[in-house]
Chains A and B, each alone.
Chain A
Amino acid sequence: MLKTERMSKLRIISSKSKQKQVIQKLHDLKVLDIIEHKKTEELDIGDTIENSEKVAELLVKIKSLLGDSDKDENNIKHKSKKLDLKEIEEEITEIETKIKSKKEEITDINKNLSKKKELLSKLEILNSLYLDLESYNSLNSISTFVGTINNKELVKKELENITQKFKLHFSENNKNKTIALFIEKNKEEQVLEILKNHGFVELNLDFIGEMKGLPLKQMNKINDEINIVDNQKIKLDHEIEKIKRDKINDIKIFYNFLNIEAEKAEAPLKFAQTNNTVMITGWVPQSKKQETIKEIEKITDNKIYFEDLELKNKESVPIKMKNNMLVKPFEFFMRLYTLPSYKEVDPSTLIFLTFPIFFGFMLGDALYGVITLLLFWSLIKVIPAGKDLLKSMMACSYWTILFGIIFGEYLGFERLTINGILYEFPRLINRMHGSLNIMGNDIHIVLVIGAIVGLVHINLSLLFGAINEYDNHGLKEAILAKLSWYVFEAGLAIVLLKLLGIVSFSMANYFGIALIIISIIMIYLGEGVQGLVEIPAIFSNMLSYLRLGAVGLASVGLAVVVNEQLAMPFIEKGGLFILVAILILILGHVINIALGIIGPFLHSIRLHYVEFFARFYKGGGKEYKPFGVK
């Protein structure tokens, strides 16, 4: 429970002909965390399986078909029959050809559309002149110029200098000054000269062709055509979507299948190989080792060789935490910080034991507990990804309810007045006003409890530190580096008790001081200078647990302010003011609950990460990721 899963380092040596079966089996078993082989002079890395290129190619195609749609394997109806690459390729090609023909149609439509739009823009220029289209038809004796120009007045004046026989139509809108000039043919060259001087840009009239009537009429006709074509395009888009949608189930199945195939095909890149053999090295949980060996032997007719490798001293073994159902959600806190290393105690269980208690002690209000419990419970369905955290928080809520009952606090109320009679809630400890008299000073009882919890927790942390030291460096280190602190504390306790006159043994002072000096030497030998620096730190760490009381007092203080200072005056006024009071109560308590979740959460987790872990936990393990698990 306190250790992570024990691992074995297993080496599998097989002939190359069996490689595919072995990979398949390992993938199904999902137990071996393969160690990547680094290429050496004697041993090359393996080659990908022959179908890997095909798989990669198909994956690319499928990804483009899937686009942004959800790639999750959820809500897929699986087919019963087995998939093979050829079948997938055929189906994908079929889908792609269908989509391709639709896309070609769309391309044609787009070409057609751009032609029509160009025509439309030309007609728009003519439209402003209000001339029938047939009037632009070329005649023998008359030249026609249509286009845009800079200055109409000047042009007209200059034209009048050459001839009187012309007709000039002009229109101006915000963008262009458009003219249509009909003039006798023999003056054509001179006219062109004049026009050019005034920035004339000619509009080619060939497009008019057989069109007749006002341009507007033609424009309406073309617009109608564009609408029809646009609708066709939308319809085609929908059809493409429909083809994809109809096949989405298949496509997703293929996607997942191909991903697995790709993983298998690329697995040999992590293997070592010679001409005829492959060598696979990896980590497997000790509990699963025999089963794994048997399974692989079965499919390879025993033509395979296993080797059990010894763990080297500083080897980084992948970490698989092993905890029961109740503790499992609390592994989240280890992932958030850092995974334990192989030889360390896995503190998940310790966090499971104390984290919710600390949280509950700080929030400590029965109704807040119920509200947060419902909140976390309902959030599990909304945010499945945060399931572990929310489950741990639900445990915190249970403790909050329990401590709420112990403190007799319900939404910050300690008593209730009904019909003028005061009912005090029953309680074991009065958090707000309960105090202990210590050496003539009244000190809040929750602060005292906090300090005692700190003493116990820090000493517990030293005990686990000793266990870790013993596992890693042996008994001597464990005594010198960690257990020496107990000697220190004992010496200090004796001196203090003597000073307070509780112990009357005359040599107690000397005995205590001697213990302190011995322990300091032990600490120096065990942890070096760093250990000496830690001596004052251990006290401030213990005092840090005062926050257990202080944060709680702040939280209940806020609740009391909301109830008595803000809402009470309105309740006393009665009538409609009751509504205002209810509003204040809701708002105030929502804020206080939000703070009451964040504050105790951070303080509680920090007490574990900073104060508790400092004496035994280093972490730095990397997670166990067996081949075949996503």
Chain B
Amino acid sequence: MADAGLIAIGASIAFGVSAIATAIAEKQIGAAAVGAMAEKEELFGKGLILTVIPETIVIFGLVVAILIIGMAGH
């Protein structure tokens, strides 16, 4: 069985780094979406959706983190 501390660190890196990646991606899309909304308010729906598209990255990070912790049980 692997060291529990290392497993925890592995899981948190998977989650943390993917969260940062999502944040960077969403920062730029969000800024552009707000800019577009200022011009045309109906774009709120589309802007919202475009902004949360990179959310998938952090979800995958979270899934990987959960899997790492789950596998550590062996």
Q: Are B45 and A337 in contact (CB under 8 A)?
A: yes
Closest Cβ of chain A: how far from B56's Cβ, in Å? 5
Which of B45, B59, B67, B71 sits near A544, CB closer than 8 Å?
B59
Say yes or no: is A553 at the interface (Cβ < 8 Å to chain B): yes
Say yes or no: is A37 at the interface (Cβ < 8 Å to chain B): no
Q: For the side of the interface on B, what is the size category? A: 10 to 19
Closest Cβ of chain A: how far from B19's Cβ, in Å? 11
Which of A336, A447, A602 sits near B63, CB closer than 8 Å?
A447
CA of A116 to CA of B49, assembled, Å:
66
Say yes or no: is B4 at the interface (Cβ < 8 Å to chain A): no
CA of A547 to CA of B67, assembled, Å:
13
Find residues 6-62 in chain B having any chain A CB closer than 8 Å to their own CB. 44-46, 48-49, 52-53, 55-56, 59-60, 62
Q: Are B66 and A547 in contact (CB under 8 A)?
A: no
Which of A443, A550, A610 sits near B53, CB closer than 8 Å?
A610
Q: Are A603 and B45 in contact (CB under 8 A)?
A: no
Q: Are A609 and B73 in contact (CB under 8 A)?
A: no
Chain A residues closer than 8 Å to B63, beta-carbon distance = 447, 546, 549-550
Which of B53, B62, B66, B73 sits near A606, CB closer than 8 Å?
B53
Q: Are B49 and A441 in contact (CB under 8 A)?
A: no
Q: In the complex where A441-B70, A442-B73, A550-B66 touch, is A337 in contact with B49 (Cβ < 8 A)?
A: yes
Which of A435, A543, A550, A602 sits near B52, CB closer than 8 Å?
A602
Which of B66, B71, B73 sits near A553, CB closer than 8 Å?
B66
Q: Are A547 and B70 in contact (CB under 8 A)?
A: no
CA of A89 to CA of B62, assembled, Å:
70
Chain A residues closer than 8 Å to B45, beta-carbon distance = 335-338
CA of A124 to CA of B60, assembled, Å:
80
Chain B residues closer than 8 Å to A27, beta-carbon distance = none
Q: Mark A431-448, 1 if CB is under 8 A from B, else 0.
A: 000010000011110010
Chain B residues closer than 8 Å to A540, beta-carbon distance = 56
Chain A residues closer than 8 Å to B67, beta-carbon distance = 441, 443, 447
Q: Are B62 and A609 in contact (CB under 8 A)?
A: no
Chain A interface residue count, Cβ-Cβ cutoff 8 angstroms: 26
Chain B residues closer than 8 Å to A443, beta-carbon distance = 67, 70
Chain A residues closer than 8 Å to B56, beta-carbon distance = 540, 544, 547
CA of A11 to CA of B71, assembled, Å:
70
Closest Cβ of chain B: how far from A274's Cβ, in Å? 38
Q: Are A447 and B66 in contact (CB under 8 A)?
A: yes
CA of A338 to CA of B48, assembled, Å:
13
Say yes or no: is A554 at the interface (Cβ < 8 Å to chain B): yes
Among the interface residues B44, B59, B62, which one has the most CB atoms of the partner chain A within 10 A? B59
Closest to A548 in B: B59
Chain B residues closer than 8 Å to A550, beta-carbon distance = 59, 62-63, 66
Q: In the complex where A337-B45, A550-B66 touch, is A606 in contact with B52 (Cβ < 8 A)?
A: yes
Closest Cβ of chain A: how far from B52's Cβ, in Å? 5
Q: Are A435 and B70 in contact (CB under 8 A)?
A: yes
CA of A602 to CA of B59, assembled, Å:
13
Closest Cβ of chain A: how far from B67's Cβ, in Å? 7
CA of A443 to CA of B67, assembled, Å:
7
Chain B residues closer than 8 Å to A602, beta-carbon distance = 48, 52, 55
Chain B residues closer than 8 Å to A441, beta-carbon distance = 67, 70-71
CA of A540 to CA of B45, assembled, Å:
23
CA of A202 to CA of B46, assembled, Å:
73
Which of B44, B49, B66 sits near A609, CB closer than 8 Å?
B49
Say yes or no: is A551 at the interface (Cβ < 8 Å to chain B): yes
Chain B residues closer than 8 Å to A551, beta-carbon distance = 59
Chain B residues closer than 8 Å to A442, beta-carbon distance = 70-71, 73-74
Q: Are A603 and B62 in contact (CB under 8 A)?
A: no
Q: Are B55 and A543 in contact (CB under 8 A)?
A: no
Chain A residues closer than 8 Å to B53, beta-carbon distance = 606, 610
CA of A261 to CA of B53, assembled, Å:
48
Closest Cβ of chain B: how far from A482's Cβ, in Å? 22
Closest Cβ of chain A: how far from B74's Cβ, in Å? 8
Find residues 576-630 in chain A having any chain B CB closer than 8 Å to their own CB. 602-603, 605-606, 609-610
Closest to A606 in B: B52
Q: In the complex where A435-B70, A442-B73, A443-B70 touch, is A546 in contact with B59 (Cβ < 8 A)?
A: yes
Closest Cβ of chain B: how far from A451's Cβ, in Å? 10
Closest to B49 in A: A609
Chain A residues closer than 8 Å to B46, beta-carbon distance = 337-338
Q: Are B55 and A336 in contact (CB under 8 A)?
A: no
Q: Are A554 and B62 in contact (CB under 8 A)?
A: yes
CA of A554 to CA of B59, assembled, Å:
10
Q: Are A543 and B66 in contact (CB under 8 A)?
A: no
Q: Mark A529-558, 1 if CB is under 8 A from B, else 0.
A: 000000000001001101101110110000
CA of A335 to CA of B42, assembled, Å:
9
Closest Cβ of chain A: how far from B69's Cβ, in Å? 10
Closest Cβ of chain A: how far from B29's Cβ, in Å? 13
Chain B residues closer than 8 Å to A554, beta-carbon distance = 62
Chain B residues closer than 8 Å to A549, beta-carbon distance = 63
Q: Are B66 and A444 in contact (CB under 8 A)?
A: yes
CA of A544 to CA of B59, assembled, Å:
8
CA of A605 to CA of B67, assembled, Å:
25
CA of A550 to CA of B70, assembled, Å:
13
Chain A residues closer than 8 Å to B66, beta-carbon distance = 444, 447, 550, 553
- Other CB < 8 Å A-B pairs besides A550-B63, A553-B62, 16 of them? A337-B45, A337-B49, A338-B45, A338-B46, A441-B70, A442-B70, A442-B74, A540-B56, A543-B60, A544-B56, A550-B62, A553-B66, A554-B62, A602-B48, A602-B55, A606-B52
Chain A residues packing against B (C-beta within 8 Å): 335-338, 435, 441-444, 447, 540, 543-544, 546-547, 549-551, 553-554, 602-603, 605-606, 609-610
Closest 5 CB pairs of A and B: A336-B45, A547-B59, A550-B62, A609-B49, A337-B45
Jot down 12 A-B pairs with beta carbons below 8 A, ordered by A.
A336-B44, A336-B45, A337-B46, A443-B67, A546-B59, A546-B60, A553-B62, A554-B62, A602-B48, A603-B52, A603-B59, A606-B55
